[in-house]
Amino acid sequence: MSHRRAGPRLDWPPVPRDPPWRILTVTGSWTGGPTLEYSADALARLNDNPLYLALGVRVDRCRDGTARSTLAPTPNACWPSPASPHGGVLFTVIDTTMAWAAMSLTDPGESATTVDCSIQYPAPATHGPFTCDAASVRRTGRTVFVRAEIVDRRGGVVALGQATFRIIRDQPA
């Protein structure tokens, strides 16, 4: 007798065969080592996901241990104050931007997962759109330490974050 577990389908949504974060341009850098940069096509596919679209997030750049994203918050992301994104939205932006900074340091067949993330909110987020810049500050083995800040259109800091990421090997499907 077969028992089927009720709940969400584990095969949905379908995983694309060629995920956008694996389309990289590898060139030489001034240090002589490889430089990883996500192509414009990869970023476009990355940004075309339900979470980013619902919140108003766009990853603009991802290379060499750094990443930049923009938040033009949607009305649903601004609660309880209109035009001011919820702190959880800012946390999502800072965490995912730092994750992409860490991901830019991975090799093919690897990805990164958040181990720890903390954020501070020094000022209200009231003057969007917002820009998040993240930079990897240290890598030791399979651990990457990243810092980031979100600034408003006037250059005022509205969020500061730091996180630890673990580089993991992708599991075959």
Provide the Cα torsion 74, 77, 81, 86; round to 10°. Answer: -140
Range of 66's domain? 20-169
Q: What is the pLDDT of residues 4-16, one digit of tens each?
A: 444 443 443 434 4
Q: Taking the complete model, does pTM exceed 0.95, yes or no?
A: no
CATH code of residue 74: 3.10.129.10
> What confidence category does residue 79 fall into, taking pLDDT thresholds of 50, 70 and 90?
confident
E strand residue ranges, the chain = 24-28, 34-38, 57-63, 66-71, 110-120, 130-140, 143-151, 157-169
Provide the Cα torsion 19, 67, 29, 33; round to 10°. Answer: -70
Q: What whole-number distance in Å separates Cα of residue 35 and Cα of residue 59?
A: 18
Residue 12 lies in a domain: no
Residue 146 lies in a domain: yes
Q: What pLDDT does 36 receive?
A: 65
